[in-house]
Structure 1
Amino acid sequence: MPTTLITGASSGIGLELTKLFAASGDNVVLVARSEDKLNDLAANVRSQHDITATVIPADLSTPDAVDHLSDQLRDRSLEIDTLVNNAGFGMLGKFSEMSADRQTNMLMVNVVALTRLTRKLLPGMLKRKTGGVLNVGSIAAYQAGPNMAVYYASKAYVLSFTEALREEVAGSGLHITCLEPGATETGFGEDSGMGSLDMFASQTMTAEVVAKAGYQGYRSNEDIVIPGWKNRLMVTGTSFLPRFATRKMVGKMQGA
């Protein structure tokens, strides 16, 4: 039975992806900060499917988190076939006014942990010629984001990294996919301070729908998955506009 590791599995898109991989027969390794929520989710998927669900609490914003996680995988003799890099967070506010530590933590989770964990697990996938990586990005990747400068930049990295990695492993049998959701009904809006913005009031999709699109796209080995016609239209539209126009538009939407 294949094994899938999902970061940020305790809620939102990560939780829904966990359910989908478990329903397909994958054993799952669940990673997030909230051990209680992970234990509840693990018990739920075990009761519904004939799989194993392993809980490994981790704060991916800390420098040694990925090394510690890798050690636990080794100690438990767990080989990961599919890596789902879902953990991430954002924060609304001017770059010059937000906590430098908070913004650094954002980069640690959104960029550094994603990169290091992929580097740790990819060689084994290549050796076994099975599995792959599903990275959860955002349509924020397609333009600069005034008032969320670091978050938007981090998601641009995720998209570029995923596309490059896909080309590097082409022909290996691995699936490499980037899921690019727009506003989604998770805790992200409230946690980031974006919940009051119009995009979260009128354009949100459910985490279940977004996760299903990403899961199906990964299984089909699609390169980029953008759920929802409104999100796809937005991304297409920005490609026809000069970058100064898109950043001004996003800045206005986000109060910059």
Structure 2
Amino acid sequence: MDHQEEKVKLFGMWASPYVLKVKWALSIKGVEYEYLEEDLRNKSDDLLEHNPVHKKVPVLLYHGKPVAESDVIVEFVDEAWSHRGGRILPGDPYERAMARFWVRFVHDKLSPPIWKWFTTAPGEDQEAARGASVEQLQVLEELLAVGGKEFFAGESVGLVDLSLGAMAYVVPMYEEIVGVRLVTEERFPSLSAWMGRFLGSPPVKDHPPPVERLIPRYRAMREAFLKMG
């Protein structure tokens, strides 16, 4: 069957960075799809049917077959439309393994301290979280600085860029809400430049993050965590 005739649907939610990541991957490949917005407080029967394990978005529907979890979906998109658009995963097996390694780094080592810094009141705990965040950001700064790459994948957006993509717009929002800078051009020149390049890249310009709607949402999240603390 011609790939252009494939029926592709994406179940998502406007504020989810994971859904946005999948939209960016689909944009890189030039894949047309039907987008279905979900109310996560009142999940549709279709979403529950297609993702009965996690009951979350994103879910990609391909020929009626569901693919769940954003990282899995991104790799699937790269393979299913391997003949179209740019490569998301490197072709070399070692480089592909390293890309997956850095995706895990984002999930396991980078995101947790940044989230803790954002949701903790000023004091020793927040400073400790900030220090841990800076330490992990420095790892990425050095990785990106080697060879002076435009993106983590080289000259175009790839798997690691997509996994880090939310950081490019979420961290500045966190900084605005908390009132403290985390990523400065002086300390992280390569990372700062990458954030600007990523937000200006074609897939992101096709699907820009809804920052104006997200700021009050994240502000309310922080206030809720501070009240619990």
The TM-score normalised by the length of structure 1 is: 0.34
- In terms of fraction of residues, the more helix-rich structure is 2
TM-score normalised per structure 2: 0.37
